[in-house]
């Protein structure tokens, strides 16, 4: 099993270690040197031995290339990242969920395996498994192992309810992910179980956080701020510190990606994210999203004109940049807006708000004091 991954990435060349945040950027000449000896019993070059010691405290002296390094080939496509919605099914029923439906359906195992190989061949280095809840998919563990052994750096976006299971922890310890991001919906059973509409959800997630932390798995908490838990925000932050996890806070609740308004009821007043201006996005150009059936779109929200990778293969991705650019045009209610230069909402998400007939003050500066 490889300890390092050497890979092209958006015009550069990287050396990464699964489970570690640090990495190295190398010139093409060094990449070609490693590519020429990939899979051989040759010793590692001195510059890589020194780099591994410096970046990760890793001693690879005497280890042949075939046991230490997986060298990924250059591809004709420049997609460095992807998200894979392995299944929309979920064992929670969150009030704020952006999925219109949570059906347990998707590709059979042979289809999933083929899809993962297509992602690899598209150049995907960073892969996020998401859902629904990915850990409840019957093929998740096999899919994770295949992706890891294909040389992908993996993030698992999970509700954490099955993270405590010994078979999951054992796999993640043996094949470390880049990180596991757990959504935190409160700091007490009352708030957490109320939002997820699942009795006992908070205790399950706590078990998962404890197990992952004790196993040394890289954790991050996504703090989802809603009307159920806004009063517990400081305690939610403290939970992240307790488990040694990084944290990111999300206070803006969106409608479903298909434009229905039900999730908006969970919005906590005063927690709309109006801090960063939207300055464009490389969705569809350097990364993309794939749903449970192998349909590729620019991202999780912009799902118009999906490309069926299972029938079109990698050639279909050549059309994706044009599809993405068309979805980024500010048309309809946003056409000619005098505040477009400082807008904080991407166009596909704005369209979902408009289709949900959301109040302007939930997403648009026209509905805020800044527009006066």
Pull the structure tokens for residue 259: 């434009």
Distance (Å, whole) CA 180 – CA 156 = 5
Nearest to 94 by CA among 25, 160, 181, 39: 160
SS3 197: coil
Confidence category of residue 330, pLDDT binned at 50, 70, 90 = low
The model's pTM: 0.93
SS3 295: strand
More confidently predicted of 59 and 371:
59
Burial of 351 (0-12, 13-18, 19+ CB in 10 A): buried
Per-residue pLDDT tens over the stretch 175-196: 999 999 999 999 999 999 999 9
Q: How far is CA 370 from the centre of its chain?
A: 32
Q: What is the pLDDT of residue 349?
A: 85
Per-residue pLDDT tens over the stretch 51-103: 999 999 999 999 999 999 999 999 989 899 999 999 999 999 998 888 877 78
Distance (Å, whole) CA 55 – CA 21 = 10
Residue 345 pLDDT > 90: no
Per-residue pLDDT tens over the stretch 122-140: 999 999 999 999 999 999 9
Q: How far is CA 91 from the centre of its chain?
A: 19
Q: With beta carbons less than 8 A apart as the criterion, state whether 153 and 125 touch.
A: yes
Q: What is the pLDDT of residue 338?
A: 75
Q: What's the mean pLDDT in 297-323? A: 95
Residue 301 pLDDT > 60: yes
Distance (Å, whole) CA 136 – CA 85 = 12
Q: What is the pLDDT of residue 372?
A: 34
Per-residue pLDDT tens over the stretch 193-239: 999 999 999 999 999 999 999 999 999 999 999 999 999 999 999 99
More confidently predicted of 21 and 272:
21
Residue 309 pLDDT > 80: yes
Distance (Å, whole) CA 212 – CA 173 = 9
Residues of the chain with pLDDT > 70, as a percent, come to 96
Beta strand 287-290 with 295-297: parallel, antiparallel or unpaired? Answer: antiparallel
Distance (Å, whole) CA 151 – CA 66 = 13
More confidently predicted of 301 and 270:
301
Burial of 259 (0-12, 13-18, 19+ CB in 10 A): middle
Pull the structure tokens for residue 247: 């944290």
Place of tokens 């150049």: 123
Q: What is the pLDDT of residue 18?
A: 93
Per-residue pLDDT tens over the stretch 103-124: 889 999 999 999 999 999 999 9
Distance (Å, whole) CA 343 – CA 202 = 36
Residues of the chain with pLDDT > 90, as a percent, come to 73
Q: What is the pLDDT of residue 369?
A: 44
DSSP letter string, 310-339: HHHGGGGGGGHHHHHHHHTS--GGGTT-TT
Residue 371 pLDDT > 50: no
Per-residue pLDDT tens over the stretch 249-296: 998 888 988 889 999 899 898 887 766 777 778 999 999 999 999 999
Beta bridge partners of 154: 127
* Side-by-side strand order, sheet with 69-71: 23-26, 12-16, 4-9, 69-71
Q: What is the pLDDT of residue 244?
A: 87
Q: What is the pLDDT of residue 99?
A: 83
Distance (Å, whole) CA 95 – CA 201 = 14
Distance (Å, whole) CA 261 – CA 255 = 5
Mean residue pLDDT of the chain comes to: 91
Q: With beta carbons less than 8 A apart as the criterion, state whether 54 and 17 touch.
A: no
Q: With beta carbons less than 8 A apart as the criterion, state whether 5 and 70 touch.
A: yes
Residue 30 pLDDT > 90: yes
Residue 351 pLDDT > 90: no
């Amino acid at each position: 099993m490889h300890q390092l991954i050497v890979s092209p990435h958006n015009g550069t060349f990287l050396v990464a270690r699964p489970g570690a945040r640090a990495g190295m950027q190398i010139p093409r000449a060094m990449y070609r040197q490693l590519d020429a000896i990939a899979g051989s019993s040759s010793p590692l070059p001195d510059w890589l031995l020194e780099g591994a010691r410096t970046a990760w405290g890793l001693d690879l002296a005497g280890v042949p290339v075939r046991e230490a390094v997986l060298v990924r080939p250059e591809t004709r496509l420049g997609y460095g990242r992807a998200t894979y919605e392995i299944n929309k099914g979920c064992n929670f029923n969150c009030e704020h969920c952006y999925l219109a439906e949570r059906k347990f359906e998707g590709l059979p195992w042979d289809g999933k395996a083929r899809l993962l190989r297509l992602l690899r061949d598209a150049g995907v280095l960073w892969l996020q498994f998401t859902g629904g809840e990915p850990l409840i998919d019957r093929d998740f563990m096999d899919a994770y192992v295949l992706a890891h052994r294909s040389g992908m750096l993996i993030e698992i976006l999970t509700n954490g309810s099955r993270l405590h299971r010994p078979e999951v922890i054992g796999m993640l310890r043996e094949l470390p992910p880049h990180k596991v991001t757990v959504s935190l919906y409160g700091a007490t059973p009352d708030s957490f179980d109320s939002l997820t509409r699942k009795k006992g959800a908070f205790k399950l997630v706590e078990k998962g956080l404890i197990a992952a932390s004790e196993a040394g798995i890289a954790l991050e908490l996504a703090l989802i701020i809603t009307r159920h838990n806004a009063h517990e925000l400081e305690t939610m932050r403290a939970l992240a510190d307790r488990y040694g996890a990084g944290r990111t806070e999300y206070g803006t609740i969106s409608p479903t990606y298909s434009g229905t308004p039900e999730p908006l009821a969970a919005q906590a007043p005063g927690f709309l994210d109006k801090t960063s201006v939207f300055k464009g996005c490389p969705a569809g150009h350097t990364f993309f999203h794939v749903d449970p059936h192998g349909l590729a779109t620019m991202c999780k929200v912009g799902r118009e004109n999906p490309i069926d990778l299972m029938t079109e293969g990698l050639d279909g991705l050549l059309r994706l940049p044009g599809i993405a650019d068309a979805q980024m045009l500010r048309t309809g209610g946003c056409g000619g807006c005098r505040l477009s230069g400082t807008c904080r909402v991407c166009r596909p998400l704005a369209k979902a708000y408009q289709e949900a007939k959301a109040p302007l003050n939930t997403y648009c500066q026209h509905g805020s004091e800044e527009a006066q």
